[in-house]
Amino acid sequence: MSVVDDVKSKIDIVDVIGQYATLKKAGRNFKALCPFHNEKTPSFIVFPDQNTWHCFGSCNTGGDVFTFLMKKENLDFGEALRRLAQRAGVELTRDAPGEDAERKKLRELLATASAHYHYLLKQHPAAQRAREYISKRFITPETAARFELGYALDEWEALRSFLSGKGYALRELEAAGLVIARESGSGHYDRFRGRLMFPIRNRNGEVIGFGARTLGDDEPKYLNSPQTPLFDKSATLYGLDRAKDAIRKENLAVIVEGYMDVIGAHQAGFCNVIASLGTALTEKQLGLLKRLTNRYALALDPDAAGQEATKRGLQIAREALARKTVPVPMGAGLIGFEERLEAELFVIPLPPGKDPDELIHAAPQQWSDLTAHPEPLVDFYFHALTQDLDLQNARDKSAAVQRLAPIIREIGDAVQRAHYTQKLARLVQVAEPTIAQEIAQVQRASPAEKRSAVETPRVAPRAVSKREEYFLTLALRTPEHLPRVPFLEPDDFADGEARAFFLALRECAAASDFFDRDAFHAALDASLVPLWERLRAAESGVPELNQPELAREIEIAAYRLRAERDKTELARLEVLLRDQDELRAAADEPHLRARVAFLLKRVAESQRALSARTALKAHTF
């Protein structure tokens, strides 16, 4: 968690804004006279469950706790961060000057260890058992070299002695997760011994850790590097450095469990395969894939444990992946807004007793067919969530509908949603209108439930959104294209950190005909340097584009960002308009309806602009 996110998580936005405005409870939110303009009817709303605020009056602006303090106290982002950090009890410390050098040294150390392990696998007599295992798994020497597979000698201090001889300090070996201090305090011993070694790389191809498989009966069967300054198992995907181009080209990421599954797939030419390091799929891992594709297929083992892992992975994906807000007629002249999943999720059903590596070796065409036509998420759930039910029983029929309705409601395509509504009606042998009504009630349950007597728990504050981050990544790469999106304003960035960075970048780019990136970095407020570093790291995930393509891409990113912001405001307005108590307490209805009409028109304009540019992009490519 970044220091900005840490501060957000510990600050109550209601407490902060309450020091500047008299807040009154209005349903699940709070209302007040806007502290930024004179008014008689409250139009300023605080949304505590989202850690945001918005003025629906003449300001027509909003943001998070940082943007509020910046606007109210006329502060820059760094000053706002320092004030809120002090309030939250979070210590702000600048990175030590040697920290980057230390991380670089760790990367060099791990690369040296990987090369040494690989040499041992090829040359050392003690590695014969590892070579036989690789051969038995049908991995060629060329593939083993490509993935730099290695072998750790079955000795207590072999690697420690080798690396110490290369001039590396014991504290560096320990920081890299390669050695463990003895409990007695009398020295260190190698973490990996007598194991086949799999170097784990980041998306840029740098070694950040290791996976190790026992070749005997030792437990555990697989052992990974511990958490280090470079390695976070929950935020790493094995093989992503080699798979990212294929994932983008195929527009599909196939997620498997094991190292050998990835290696075998790539050897056979199926290069869009990555592994989740033996863990249930995590939100951080999905974050690595979002820039490459919005289509994900899980190919986990068909045993009971694999099926449970598939369910967990799909659930995490449903919660973590991007959603779009779509208008839905509500009757009585109202327009509702409901969320639809923007991503497509699939399951690759493996034959009983076969893991991906075994299937790819035995029947590569079958694997190719399965990945070309994966099972949609909803079809998988129709079986997985009803297999324990007796669908001749009325109570179990109701249970089936309750389990599947939330899945169906997320489907973005209306025709597909209607198809699965019909399928569920046939499955439980209940009239389709009844099933459609049940799904509709699930769709509209959320706002009502949140206004119930039970207080909604506060959710973790959102960091810079993916759309904000992607736009800023493009803008940082080619700030000369910012004049192409003059309609984009700081208020279009919901996150205060992103808003401040956009302002700084725009001002620097406008100040000179030549943008000096190093000078911009040097002049950047220290509080924005972590975002700078994240954006620089994210550049590796941006496709290589020529200047006209980059100009068009930055326009597309800007229109998407503005449309997302407008849809968020529309969703909030819809809640106010549907709740008559909040409506009377918050602002006059005609003004809000006029704002809805304006935003709907602007969303439509953004969609037309996007359609024109994406069509041109497709034609160009």
Q: Cα separations (Å) of 218 from 179, 192, 199, 490?
A: 18, 12, 20, 57
333 φ, ψ to 5°?
A: 80, 5
What is residue 108's three-state secondary structure? helix
Q: What is the pLDDT of residues 417-465, one digit of tens each?
A: 899 999 999 999 999 999 999 988 874 433 333 333 223 333 334 456 7
Give pTM, 2 decimals: 0.58
Contact 65, 59 (CB under 8 A): no
CA distance 179 to 190: 4
CA distance 275 to 257: 5
Q: Could you tell me which of 382, 349, 440 has the C-alpha nearest to residue 391?
A: 382
Q: Could you tell me which of 574, 576, 567 has the C-alpha nearest to residue 599?
A: 567
CA distance 438 to 441: 5
Q: Which long-range contacts (CB under 8 A, 24 or more apart) does 383-386 make?
A: 384/307, 384/310, 384/311, 386/427
> Which residue in this structure is represented by tokens 């002249």?
333
Contact 609, 586 (CB under 8 A): no
Task: State the distance between the two ends of the chain, measured CA to CA, in whole angstroms.
Answer: 38
Tokens of 230: 């470079």
* 233-378: in CATH 3.40.1360.10: yes
Residue 459, burial from CB neighbour count under 10 angstroms (0-12, 13-18, 19+): exposed
Average pLDDT per consecutive 10 residues, the chain (621 residues; last block may be shorter)? 81 92 87 88 86 84 89 82 88 56 90 98 97 97 98 97 96 95 87 97 93 88 90 90 92 93 97 85 77 84 65 70 48 44 80 90 96 90 90 94 90 84 95 91 46 32 72 89 86 86 85 77 81 84 80 90 87 70 53 81 87 64 41
The third-level CATH classification (topology) of the domain covering 104-229 is DNA primase DNAg catalytic core, N-terminal domain (3.90.980)
Q: What is the pLDDT of residues 68-106, one digit of tens each?
A: 998 888 777 888 898 999 888 887 765 444 446 788 899
Structurally, at CATH architecture level, domain 3-88 sits in: Alpha-Beta Complex (3.90)
Q: What is the pLDDT of residues 317-358, one digit of tens each?
A: 766 664 544 444 444 444 444 455 567 889 998 888 888 999
Per-domain residue ranges for the chain?
3-88, 104-229, 233-378, 385-446, 466-620
Contact 78, 531 (CB under 8 A): no
